[in-house]
Amino acid sequence: MEAGRSPNIEILSNADFLGLDGKAGDFTAKVRLRPRYIDADKCTACGLCTKYCPRHLVDEYNEGLALTRPIHIDYPQAVPATYFIDPDACMHLQHGTCKICVPVCRSKAIDFDQKAETRQINVGAVIMSPGFGRVPEEALTKYSYGDHPDVVTSLEFERLLNPSGPFMGEVRCISDKRHPKNIAFIQCVGSRDLGCNNGYCSSVCCMYAIKEAMVAKEHDPDCEITVYYMDMRTQGKDFDAARTRAEEQFGIKFVRAKVADVMPWERQLKLTYATMDGKHHFEGYDMVVLSVGLDSPADAKNLAKTGAFDLNHYDFCKTSTFAPLASSHDGVLVAGAFQGPKDIPESVTQSSAAAGLVSGLIKKQRGKGVVTKTYPDEQAVAEDDEVRIGVFVCHCGINIAGVVDVAKVANYAGEMEDVTYYAESLYSCSQDAQEVLKQRIKEHRLNRVVIAACSPRTHEPLFQETLKDAGLNRSLFEMVNIRDHCSWVHANEPAAATDKSMDLVRMGVAKARNIKPLPEQTVPVTTKALVLGGGIAGMTAALNMADQGFQTYIVEKNGQLGGQLLKQHYTLQGDKVADLVKDVTGKIKKNKLIEVFTDADLSAVNGFVGNFTSTITVGKKETSVDHGIIVVATGGKYHQPETVLGAKLPDSKAIVTQNELEKQLAGKGKTRAPKSAVMIQCAGSRGDDLAYCSKTCCNDAVKNALKIKEINSASQVVVLYREMRTYGYAEDAYREAREKGVIFIPYAKDQMPKIDKKGAKAEVSFHDPILLEDVTIAPDQVILSVGIVPEDTEDISKLLKIPINADRFFLEAHVKLRPVEMPVAGVYVCGLAHAPKPLDEIIVQAQAAAAKAAIPLVKGYVSVEPTVSNVDKDACIGCGLCESLCPYKAIQIHKIDKKRKAETIVASCKGCGICASHCPTFAISMGGFTDEQITAQIKAFGEMREE
């Protein structure tokens, strides 16, 4: 992970957060560092110590399904990549014996004299992200967990699926190692369960169960998988599509039922469950997976006390709808599952948002604490300079040397033309090896470096850094992966693996002869922002940009700011929306850094990241503005469906939408609450007009149902639903509504209710799956929970060349890890334009977009990776194929001397090579992967070795 390499992140692992004094902007935190008993600077993570350690220890990382030793590392890619000793299990630390590891360690890294250390650290702000805890044992034991080894938690099952897991990625029963032929998933274990005081929905289990079930099916297509659920809560963006795929493509069965118990039954497990109609059923399974929820962290109470902030009634950090990441302690923010159960993309979004909020909070201190690394001047390498290649072949402990004859490979490299220096290295990635590498480059005046070791994905940046330290351009480097490609995949054929290593090194050297230094480019940035859309997403993003010190333009097409918020009155949590609108619009008005254009249209956008020039049109007046980034917050609106429940909607005044009902209920009329109401969920969504789930309609229905009951407790409210998706804490409100007498009746997709017009009223007929009867009601009002559609995304998609998905929402750069960024550099997205979501999630996403968007503005420049495309203007015929294919808007056709020529916008180029591979005249070359270099490599592959 990147965090391990940043000079500005100090990882204090094996550490406890013990105290926090002072106030926002000037805190003193107390942290205790527990000893690892291993010197991190010396440990090379070779793993020899674990091999020799005589004692077994249950491996927590593998969910207790495997064994490790007291001296170990959880997984090879761990950061920091330093082994540690578990003091509770180590024989020396417990009984003063053993110490076998000390002489075994070749780098003398083991140090039993290490002591715990306490540090006082001065910081401006604190972000709490301790994650989640485990659900109580009693939620598991009622399903025979612990009594029978083949009842596993979903986390344990995750480890079983993992190639680095206990059975190397094979799914086997723990009891007798057989492959299970049928598996049951039980949902809501430790969630929506008052029995263990977890009344909330954990929000993630439905989706991960589907994922695990699909992966298990990929491992063994013959395995039958059934998921037992109450409601499948796949409310996230494109989640429903995954569920449909699981059902239709993978043949996974979904059964709506409550599981009563799981009992050992001969070689199997007997699962007893009750379906909606009240009938009981039994089924035998080889394996039962409990989809466990996310609990608050075990030490939540302690953390809250230490950090002096409040917890909510479920022991998660207490926050509010309008400030979802602010704890009750000023300057202490929260992000991730500790704020409330959530999935990875939402955690990542919250983290960026929290970082942005902190950045606004302590902006005066920005840049004061950071370390900037300096490098020596780069040595010039000219075209006709003598090529002097240095080849370093890595043992990687026994990882490579255990299979490949490293000495033979190194000596072979030494005989090659232009190779001035060659050497073997025990661990070429270790700290001391970097020093050696630097010295050798200088001593032997090397101007190309080839390292035959592991994967460039993980280690290339490290070696390139060393090259820079030695004054060499980082592009003068080639990495040969003889670990993954040779010693790992051919572990049982050492001779062949050695031969292949030699071939690969020969090819690497051939390429190295042709590599040239590539310039390190930076492009300056206009430190201003443009936010498109003045709804809550746009306003929040703009305020945060301004808080961070950047001038911001808001372009709103309507006459006033507020967007959809102006149509809303109260939230499920009881907050008044008008308060929020007043607060935010007031702050914007007062903020001198924000300029608002209303009734405005973004009519043209030119330029690229850091250097956009846009035209804002208000009436007939055009204003041209320069800005470095764009935040797209164009929002959405309620869908007015034509098709509801598979039929055309009758025209009746008795039929209203949830939003219309909300307005009516927020009024003052005495009879504003209908005496009888039928609410219809998914009206126009999930298969009618819209294919997707809008995530917010279930909450809105519960909100309004409760409001009706609050105004007139005698009112009768029936909610017809497919699945109640009141995820997270909204489950509390759902429960409250049922307690207050709101009747919730599910309907199936193949047995939809019908709406007919009957005089002034509307009549709803449906099948009641509990009574097993068809029912017809003619209530005062029929309320449709309609979905949300994005606004004008097609036009903006064309204007900015950013992609939209099948449902016309903008498609982010990476669903999981870059949820607010667009593939086009410098363009960010948030709010309903991204996907339907409730208010608190919109606010967080807007804060996250502002944080990400501020990054290039804070730096003041955009750095360009050396691997970008380069157009040979003489060869270019200006056909424009490259421009039409580039997914990043990074290559454009310009007129140069009246001829059309392609030009790369280096700041936007990602170096994917699509343009180069399609150019009909071979006019485009990719830095670091030129035709010349690749041809040389292929030729070298064909050269025979002399034995």
Partner 1 sequence: MAQAKNKGAGAVMVVGGGVAGVQAALDLTELGYYVYLVEKSAAIGGAMAQLDKTFPTNDCSL
Q: Which residues between 181 and 200 bind partner 1 (CB under 8 A)?
A: none
For the chain, give the number of residues. Answer: 947
| Residue 785 binds to partner 1 (criterion: CB under 8 A) | no
Residue closer to partner 1, measured from CB, 49 or 262? 49
Q: Take residue 542 and report the two structure tokens written for it.
A: 């703009």
Of 67, 77, 376, 772, the one binding partner 1 by CB under 8 A: 77
Token output for 803: 């992609």
* 916 contacts 930 by C-beta, under 8 angstroms: no
Amino acid symbol at 444? H
Residues 521-560 that bind partner 1 (CB under 8 A): 548
Applying CB under 8 A, does 575 fall inside the site for partner 1? no
- Pairwise CA distance, residues 817 & 347, whole Å: 10
Q: Which is nearer to partner 1, 122 or 765 (CB)?
A: 122
Among 43, 257, 337, 454, binds partner 1 (CB under 8 A): 337
The contact mask relative to partner 1 for 836-875 (x = CB under 8 A, - = no) is ---------------xx-xx--xx----------------
**Residue 207 host element (H or E):** helix 205-219
The Cα–Cα gap between 409 and 258 comes to 63
Residue 355 or 678 with smaller CB distance to partner 1: 355
Which of residues 335, 479, 525, 829 is near partner 1 by CB under 8 A?
335
Is 98 among the residues that bind partner 1 (CB under 8 A)?
A: no
Residue 270 near residue 283, CB atoms below 8 Å: yes
CB nearer to partner 1: pick between 22 and 741: 22
Backbone angles phi, psi at 29, to 5 degrees: -105, 145
Between CA 77 and CA 61 the distance in angstroms is 13
By beta-carbon proximity to partner 1, the closer residue of 548 and 785 is 548
Token duo for residue 610: 């850091």
Q: Residue 369 or residue 646: which is nearer to partner 1 going by CB?
A: 369
Distance (Å) of CA 283 to CA 227, 261, 664, 869: 12, 11, 49, 60
460 forms part of the interface with partner 1 (CB under 8 A): no
Q: Binding to partner 1 (CB under 8 A): which residues in 224-283?
A: 238, 242
* Closer residue to partner 1, CB minimum distance, 331 or 390: 331
Instruction: Measure the CA–CA gap between 190 and 470, rounded to whole angstroms.
Output: 56
Residue 684 is a binding residue for partner 1 (CB under 8 A): no
| Chain residues 362-391 in contact with partner 1, contact rule CB under 8 A | 362, 365-371
Single out the segment in contact with partner 1 by CB under 8 A; choices: 2-10, 566-574, 827-835, 912-920: 2-10
Stretch of residues binding partner 1 (CB under 8 A), selected from 77-85, 627-635, 708-716, 927-935: 77-85
Spatial distance between the Cα atoms of 929 and 946, rounded to a whole number of angstroms: 28
- Closest among 805, 782, 606 to 701, alpha carbons compared: 782
Residue 628 and residue 616: Cα distance in Å, rounded?
15
343-351, 382-390, 826-834, 891-899 -> range binding partner 1 (CB under 8 A): 343-351
Interaction between residue 2 and partner 1 (CB under 8 A) = yes
The interface with partner 1 within residues 9-28 (CB under 8 A) comprises 9-17, 25-27
Rounded to whole angstroms, how far apart are CA atoms 599 and 577?
23
The CA angle 187-131-259, to the nearest 5 degrees, is 10
Of the candidate residues 69, 148, 159, 707, the single one contacting partner 1 (CB under 8 A): 159
Q: Is 58 in the site for partner 1 (CB under 8 A)?
A: no
Total of chain residues touching partner 1, rule CB under 8 A: 95
Beta bridge partners of 764: 755, 777
Kindly list the distances between the CA atom of residue 633 and the CA atoms of 338, 364, 614, 790, 828, in Å, as whole numbers in the listed order.
27, 28, 16, 10, 9
Interface with partner 1 includes 898 (CB under 8 A)? no
Q: Closest distance between partner 1 and the C-beta of residue 166, in Å?
A: 12
Residue closer to partner 1 by CB (options 4, 402) is 4
Determine the Cα–Cα distance for residues 270 and 265; give it in Å rounded to an integer.
6
Smallest distance from the beta carbon of 633 to partner 1, in angstroms? 19
Which CB atom, from 167 or from 570, has the smaller least distance to partner 1?
A: 167
Report residue 157: phi and psi, to 5°: -65, -40
**Minimal distance, residue 161 CB to partner 1, in Å:** 5
- Tell which one of 235, 268, 347, 847 touches partner 1 (CB under 8 A): 347
Question: Is residue 691 a contact residue for partner 1 (CB under 8 A)?
Answer: no
Cβ-based nearer residue to partner 1, 131 or 284: 131
562, 581 in Cβ contact below 8 A? yes
Strand pairing partners for 198?
193
**Subset of residues 298 to 317 that bind partner 1, contact rule: CB under 8 A:** 303, 307
Residue type, 594: I
Q: Which of residues 803-822 bind partner 1 (CB under 8 A)?
A: 814-816
Distance (Å) of CA 932 to CA 507, 512, 515:
13, 11, 9
C-beta closer to partner 1: residue 76 or 146: 76
CA distance linking residue 720 with residue 726, whole number of Å: 14
Q: Closest approach of Cβ 125 to partner 1, in Å? A: 5
Residue 158 lies near partner 1 (rule: CB under 8 A): yes
Helical axes 577-590 vs 536-547, angle rounded to 10°: 40
* Residue where the block lists tokens 């670091």: 928
Q: By CB under 8 A, is residue 135 in contact with partner 1?
A: no
Q: Is residue 40 part of the contact set for partner 1 (CB under 8 A)?
A: yes
Q: How far is the CB of 10 from partner 1 (least distance, A)?
A: 5
Cα 224 to Cα 27: distance, rounded to the nearest angstrom: 55
Of 628, 386, 380, the closest CA to residue 519 belongs to 380
Residue from 3, 618, 806, 938 that binds partner 1 (CB under 8 A)? 3
Strand bridging mode 57-58 / 67-68: antiparallel
| Interacting positions 100-129 with partner 1 (CB under 8 A) | 121-129
Q: Is 572 in the site for partner 1 (CB under 8 A)?
A: no
Q: Judged by CB under 8 A, does residue 289 bind partner 1?
A: no
